[in-house]
């Protein structure tokens, strides 16, 4: 085993173990941290394939932004773990049996040939700069899916606003825009009264 395969198996092992811990960890904060570990190992594997731009994006965007946000939300939420795990043990035997059966079937189908498959070489991406290659493809061959992805994001925005941004009648919140537009004449009425003589 040369050094490259060693590094690959090293990262893959960490990736699989970390992913496993994401779904088995009792504490949701730990689960999120394991997910961060899984992403970093995934980034390592991408680096190995000379896809350094994707690796960096994965770490910057997912680990740096998305996961931090995630961690923040998880810490904010007051999750009652015991209630979440109610019924876990009663479902476990059936779930474990089905899961084990499926894993066994996949193992039988793929068998030993999977290891040989790895030797069928992985194409190297490093003939030119990653950023350049991705940039060119996104705006030429993949312009259609790229635009579709942006439409999906737009729908995400519309959906989020539709589901959360409705005005509730009974709240006493003040709209700053309306507040700024207020003129003195809206609030203040000046009445001219005849002067009265003090008795």
Report the interface residues with other proteins, using CB under 8 A.
106, 109-111, 113, 117, 128, 132, 136, 139-145, 148-149, 151-152, 154-156, 158-159, 161-163, 166
Q: Can you tell me which residue has the tokens 């825009």? A: 177
CA distance 39 to 7: 16
Residue 68 vs 159, nearer CB to other proteins? 159
Give the nearest distance from C-beta 77 to other proteins in angstroms. Answer: 16
Q: How far is CA 140 from the centre of its chain?
A: 27
Give the nearest distance from C-beta 142 to other proteins in angstroms. Answer: 8
Q: How many CB atoms lie within 10 A of CB 23?
A: 9
Q: Note the maximum CA span of the chain.
A: 113
Residue 113 vs 192, nearer CB to other proteins? 113
Give the nearest distance from C-beta 143 to other proteins in angstroms. Answer: 7
Residue 85 vs 132, nearer CB to other proteins? 132
Which residues does 8 contact at the CB level (< 8 Å), separation at least 6?
Answer: 45, 48
Residue 89 vs 144, nearer CB to other proteins? 144
Give the nearest distance from C-beta 132 to other proteins in angstroms. Answer: 8
CA distance 78 to 57: 31
């Amino acid at each position: 085993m040369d050094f490259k395969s060693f590094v690959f198996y090293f990262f893959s092992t960490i990736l699989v173990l970390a992913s496993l811990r994401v779904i088995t960890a009792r504490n949701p904060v730990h689960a999120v941290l394991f997910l961060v570990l899984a992403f970093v190992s995934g980034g390592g594997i991408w680096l190995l394939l000379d896809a350094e731009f994707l690796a960096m994006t994965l770490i910057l965007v997912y680990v740096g932004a998305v996961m931090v946000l995630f961690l923040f939300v998880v810490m904010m939420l007051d999750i009652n773990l015991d209630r979440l795990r109610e019924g876990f043990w009663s479902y476990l035997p059936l779930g474990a049996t089905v899961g084990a059966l499926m894993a066994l079937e996949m193992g039988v189908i793929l068998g030993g040939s999977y290891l040989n498959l790895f030797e069928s070489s992985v194409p190297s991406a490093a003939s030119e700069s990653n950023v350049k290659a991705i940039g060119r493809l996104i705006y030429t061959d993949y312009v259609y899916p790229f635009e579709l992805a942006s439409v999906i994001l737009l729908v995400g925005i519309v959906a989020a606003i539709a589901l959360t941004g409705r005005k509730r009648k009974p709240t006493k919140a003040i709209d700053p825009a309306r507040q700024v537009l207020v003129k003195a004449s809206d609030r203040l009425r000046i009445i001219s009264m005849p002067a009265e003589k003090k008795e």
